[in-house]
Chains A and B, each alone.
Chain A
């Protein structure tokens, strides 16, 4: 636990030294959400949204949760490879590996900070918009879903990190997953609108299930029992993606150790 603490502390100290950047990130997410606030106001005037009925028909909440959640998709996909590339650029990766803290712990702790950072930078939106709106949050359940979906998507993040250690450049997995999730997982519109084929693809994307469950827990105070099928889907996908992610990552790591290119970027 002390190790987790020093990782978070390190992130915090660095963040404070980049105070400006943090304030700008905060402002950026805020402005982004404001955009959807006005958009929802504009579109929602005098309209009913039957497809949003399960979420209390609240278009504004629907859109803001959709866009905010996408930043967590980004965290899950990029935090491992981002952590590794960051350490490579600092020249510290070899030391982390020498420290005899198992690699998976190092990854988890780095990701933990990224997750906290994302929570921190979206918490303002959450407070201002979500608490200010006519909704009923089941905070515990919502956080659980958020965490579960981040873990689930981390499988893809691990694959991407493994590939990047070898290729030292962008990988197609992150790109495909990020783009498909943006389009198909129902961040901005209900997936019921998609043609059947695309809807099938959407069903295997973790963000699809995460978004449904999150919206229900945040907007209509659903408990975990009411979003059972989404939770099960996320668990099943986790059981599939996480082991694959670990295998790909191990492969990339060992390749880099043989090439002697661990510290290169």
Chain B
């Protein structure tokens, strides 16, 4: 449904107009199947928006090629546009002085919808996203979350087979985010192909069939959420400490030097150890606890989150969120 081959975008100059070219997307290859929900995960500036905009034909790539719904983004761009619904990452993409409904009417008409179908579709998508009551308020009175939902509503107006959603749940409250995720699942069930971007590993893990991790323009891993967990054999050990004993610094230093430990996050009273060899490391940790006279209230292990995986893959170059 979406095929990307060796796609590269080097902006001629950095945002401020000075400096050297910026390679925002770097030789990305990827195939997304029909009916798949694919999450593009990456920190700020990873190139997610750039990639999505290239697929939307809004940005011309430097080299490489891509097809969407079987159409080439360079030579058949109008067919590509007719196949996709795009929801932008930013908040400003509507007319402030018009109501939500008037905005949708305008954009729907430009996409070729005519009344009465246009008005029916508008009511449908507004209800679907729970915006029915706000529909006749001016856009400038909308909250961030409502703006985001209206953006998704607009992407759905023409009932397209492919959806490109740039950060669909950013700045949306948890309940609405859940609502939007449920909606994305429904859209998938209808056989739609969905590419979404997010910084939220938990979200990617929950709604996507596959996840692609993008860092500095490079796609560094593509797999199912289950495999991304499995491949790395990571595990997180969480200690809640009651008494730090004689020499906390040496205790933590000791934890760090255990082979198989990839990171130790200090907190008070809890401490997290990220590791790759569960049995061996847990034994060593217990040994150190006894040796340093540390009193521990609880020890729990948990499955690694994508966050851990992400930190490992990117070599911890990004700070912890």
Task: Spell out A's residues near B (CB within 8 Å).
Answer: 2-3, 5-7, 9-10, 13-14, 17-18, 90-92, 94-101, 106, 254, 257-260, 262
Q: Which of B99-107, B240-248, B279-287 touches A?
A: B99-107
Residue B290 lies at the interface, judged by CB distance under 8 Å to chain A: no
Chain B min CB distance to A13 (Å): 6
Chain B residues in 8 Å Cβ range of A5: 109
Q: Which B residue sits closest to A101, measured CB to CB?
A: B110
Chain B residues in 8 Å Cβ range of A6: 105-106, 109-110
Task: Report the interface size for chain B: residues with CB under 8 A from the other chain.
Answer: 37
Task: Spell out B's residues near A (CB within 8 Å).
Answer: 9, 11-13, 24, 50, 53, 56-60, 78, 81-82, 86, 88, 90-98, 102, 105-107, 109-112, 114, 138, 154
Chain A residues in 8 Å Cβ range of B111: 99-101
What are the 7 tightest A-B residue pairs by CB atom distance, in nearest-first order?
A: A91-B92, A99-B110, A6-B109, A91-B93, A17-B97, A14-B97, A100-B81
Name 27 A/B residue pairs within 8 A (Cβ), A-sorted: A6-B106, A6-B110, A7-B106, A13-B97, A14-B97, A14-B98, A91-B88, A91-B91, A92-B93, A92-B94, A92-B95, A94-B58, A94-B93, A95-B86, A95-B93, A95-B154, A97-B58, A98-B58, A98-B81, A99-B107, A100-B110, A257-B59, A259-B11, A260-B9, A260-B11, A260-B24, A262-B59
Chain A residues in 8 Å Cβ range of B57: 98
Chain B residues in 8 Å Cβ range of A259: 11-13
Which of these, B59, B107, B114, contacts A95 with CB under 8 Å? B107
B102 adjacent to A10 (CB under 8 Å): yes
Which of these, B11, B59, B98, contacts A13 with CB under 8 Å? B98
Q: CA A97 – CA B56 in complex, angstroms? A: 10
A100 adjacent to B112 (CB under 8 Å): yes
Q: CA A63 – CA B270 in complex, angstroms? A: 83
Chain B min CB distance to A99 (Å): 4
Q: CA A235 – CA B60 in complex, angstroms? A: 36
Secondary structure at chain A's binding surface: helix, strand, loop or mixed?
helix
Given contacts A6-B106, A91-B88, A100-B111, contact A262 B58 (CB under 8 A): yes
Chain B residues in 8 Å Cβ range of A9: 106
Chain A residues in 8 Å Cβ range of B110: 3, 6, 96, 99-101, 106
B58 adjacent to A90 (CB under 8 Å): no
Chain A residues in 8 Å Cβ range of B9: 260
Output the residue of B78, B92, B154 with the most chain A CB within 10 A.
B92
Given contacts A2-B109, A13-B102, A100-B82, contact A260 B59 (CB under 8 A): yes
Q: Which A residue sits closest to B111, measured CB to CB?
A: A99
* Given A90-B92, A257-B60, 11 further pairs, Cβ under 8 A: A2-B114, A5-B109, A10-B98, A14-B98, A17-B138, A90-B95, A92-B93, A98-B56, A100-B111, A254-B60, A260-B24
Q: Which A residue sits closest to B105, measured CB to CB?
A: A6
Chain B residues in 8 Å Cβ range of A260: 9, 11, 24, 50, 53, 59
Q: CA A258 – CA B57 in complex, angstroms? A: 11
Chain B residues in 8 Å Cβ range of A258: 12, 59-60
Chain A residues in 8 Å Cβ range of B105: 6
Q: CA A7 – CA B168 in complex, angstroms? A: 28
Q: Which A residue sits closest to B82, measured CB to CB?
A: A100
Q: Which A residue sits closest to B54, measured CB to CB?
A: A260
Q: CA A262 – CA B60 in complex, angstroms? A: 11
Chain A residues in 8 Å Cβ range of B107: 95, 99
Chain B residues in 8 Å Cβ range of A3: 109-110
Q: Which B residue sits closest to A17, measured CB to CB?
A: B97
Chain A residues in 8 Å Cβ range of B82: 100
Chain A residues in 8 Å Cβ range of B112: 100
Given contacts A6-B106, A13-B102, A99-B107, contact A91 B90 (CB under 8 A): yes
B12 adjacent to A14 (CB under 8 Å): no
Output the residue of B93, B98, B110 with the most chain A CB within 10 A.
B110
Chain A residues in 8 Å Cβ range of B109: 2-3, 5-6
Which of these, A14, A92, A94, A100, contacts B78 with CB under 8 Å? A100
Q: CA A94 – CA B110 in complex, angstroms? A: 13
Q: Which B residue sits closest to A89, measured CB to CB?
A: B92
Q: CA A90 – CA B81 in complex, angstroms? A: 21
A14 adjacent to B81 (CB under 8 Å): no
Chain B min CB distance to A86 (Å): 10
Q: Which A residue sits closest to B109, measured CB to CB?
A: A6
A14 adjacent to B95 (CB under 8 Å): yes
Chain B residues in 8 Å Cβ range of A100: 78, 81-82, 110-112
Q: Which B residue sits closest to A91, measured CB to CB?
A: B92
Q: CA A237 – CA B112 in complex, angstroms? A: 34
Chain A min CB distance to B284 (Å): 50
Chain B min CB distance to A4 (Å): 10
Q: CA A9 – CA B91 in complex, angstroms? A: 23
A90 adjacent to B96 (CB under 8 Å): yes
Chain A residues in 8 Å Cβ range of B86: 95, 98
